[in-house]
Amino acid sequence: MHQLSRASVLFVCLGNICRSPLAEAAFRAEVSKAGIAVRIDSCGTAGYHVGSPPDPRSIETAAANGIDISGLKGRQLAPQDFIEFDYIFAMDHQNLRDIKAVQPDHATAHVSLLMDIVPGREGAAIADPYYDGEGQFTYTWEDVTLAARALVQKLSAAQ
C-alpha cells in the first residue's frame, strides 16, 4: 500500500496496566483488519508501573479476544510523546487534565478524550476497572473496541 505518511496514536491512562494496554490491543486488532499502517503505543500519566506487564485481568481479556499483550511493558508519558505522536487519547477526564498539565509549549499532538471519537458517546470516560472485578474489564474492552473502530474509520478516510 502506498502511503505518504503513517499516523501515530498514543493511548494514555493512569497506570498503563489496565485500560490503555486494552485500547492499544483493540486498536491493533482493528488496524490489522483494515490493513492500514499506524504507529501505536500506550503509556500512563503516573510512573507506578513502569516496566511492568499489563494487569493479569487485562492480559486475560485481550487473550479472550485473540490478542496477546503479555509482552507489553508499562511506561510513563514523556515530553517527546507530544511531538512524536499525531494523536494522544486520554481514557478519562483526570487523565486528560494530567496530560494537559505536562504538555510542552511546542507540542504538536492532538490531545483528546478517547470516547469523543465515538458518535453518541462524546464526553464519556473509560471507567477505571482496576479496583473492580474481572467483569468490569469486559466493559472496558467493549468501550475501547468501539473507539478503535471509530478511529480506524477516521484514519482510513484520511489515508
Residues assigned a catalytic role: 13, 19, 128
Binding flags for ligand 4NP, 44-63, as an x/- string (CB under 6 A):
----x---------------
Which amino acid, residue 150? A
Other beta carbons within 10 Å of 64: 11
| Residue 16 binding ligand 4NP, by CB under 6 A | yes
Nearest in space to 130 (alpha carbons), one of 47, 17, 46: 17
Per CB under 6 A, does 98 bind ligand 4NP?
no
- Measured from the CB atom, is 94 or 112 closer to ligand 4NP? 94
The grid cell for 104 is 510542552
* Binding piece for ligand 4NP, criterion CB under 6 A, among 13-21, 32-40, 108-116, 147-155: 13-21
Query: Where does this chain touch ligand 4NP (CB under 6 A) — which range of 10-18, 59-67, 116-124, 145-153?
Result: 10-18
For position 23 contacting ligand 4NP by CB under 6 A, the verdict is: no
Instruction: Please work out the total of residues on this chain that contact ligand 4NP, with binding judged by CB under 6 A.
Output: 10
Quote the least distance from Cβ 75 to ligand 4NP, whole Å: 12
CA dist 85 and 128 (Å) reads 24
- Asked if 115 and 143 count as a contact pair (C-beta separation under 8 A), the reply is yes
Place of cell 486475560: 60
Q: Are 40 and 4 in contact (CB under 8 A)?
A: no
For residues 10 and 87, the answer to whether their CB atoms sit within 8 Å is: yes
Q: Determine if 24 is a binding residue for ligand 4NP (CB under 6 A).
A: no
Q: In the complex, what is the shortest distance from the CB of residue 148 to ligand 4NP, in angstroms, rounded to a whole number?
A: 16
Is beta strand 87-90 parallel, antiparallel or unpaired with respect to 110-113?
A: parallel
What does the binding site for ligand 4NP look like in residue numbers (CB under 6 A)?
Answer: 13-19, 48, 128, 130
